[in-house]
Structure 1
């Protein structure tokens, strides 16, 4: 019993992600089928809309429930949202490629192509989602933000240019003494 509990604690993120990833996949598949057959649109268009619906669901559940990433500032939320959508955008490319392969090349039914697609894309999504909400990513974002602020500060007051009162065109530059 103790080993099972240790296993659960050690793999908590993955296990909870699996539950909410499964729910996001169900939302994706159901949305895809409803949009495709209800609106009679091309499967790639239906796939993209279903992706968008499931990504919005996935962002908030992964942030709040799975990885317990706190809402600290609007900027932090925005950077997590951008990172999440960036990585999920990459998975949309894989998602669409699998759908084209399954439906147009292998002539599978839309449902089975979408189901297989969600299993494969789910693995990619776990890796990228874990990075998006990780402490390491937040530390990297903070370092990048600090570096950006330092660069902006240097642009505004460049230290390499002399102050107008220090030298004039008629006077030679003063040599600085080394200490």
Structure 2
């Protein structure tokens, strides 16, 4: 029992991500199957909509519950949101390629393809989410904001001097 507690303590991010990543995958798979069967949508269209639904869920759970990234400013939130969607956009390309290969190339059922897809894409997403919400990444963004503010203040001071 002590070893299990130590494991969870040492790997909290990974364990939390695995839990919420599993929930996001379930949301993705269920959304995919519902969209595909209810609307008789092409599997790539259903896959893209399911991706969007699960990414929105994933952003807020990863930010708040997994990596405990605080809501400091609106700018910081937008920066994280853009980075998250950028990396998830890359994973959408991998997601779509896996679905295409599994369904069209290997002739697997859409459900089986989606499960395989979610396992492989989940690994990619963990690495990119960890980067997006890491303390180092937030520090870099904070330094960039500070430099932009200082640069803006210098321009204002120069403008004021030239007017005097």
Shared fold by TM > 0.5? yes
1:2 aligns with 2:27: no
User: Aligned ranges for residues 1-179 of structure 1 at < 5 Å?
Assistant: 1-155=1-155
Unaligned regions of 5+ residues in structure 1, if any? 166-179
Secondary structure in 2 matching 1:6: helix
Q: CA deviation at 1:143?
A: 1.4
Separation in 1, partners of 2:85, 2:64: 16
Secondary structure in 2 matching 1:16: helix
Q: CA deviation at 1:158?
A: 5.6
Separation in 2, partners of 1:105, 1:94: 15
Instruction: State the superposition RMSD in angstroms.
Output: 1.8
Secondary structure in 2 matching 1:107: coil
Under a length normalisation based on structure 2, what TM-score does the superposition of the two structures give? Answer: 0.91
Whose RCO is larger (CA < 8 A, sep 6+)? 2
Q: CA deviation at 1:97?
A: 0.6
Q: How many residues align?
A: 163
Unaligned regions of 5+ residues in structure 2, if any? none
Detail structure 1 runs of 4+ shifted over 6 Å in the superposition.
none
More displaced stretch, 141-150 vs 16-25: 141-150
Q: CA deviation at 1:135?
A: 0.6
* Distance of aligned partners of 1:164 and 1:137 in 2 relative to their CA distance in 1, 3 Å threshold: closer
Larger helix proportion of the pair: 2
Secondary structure in 1 matching 2:107: coil
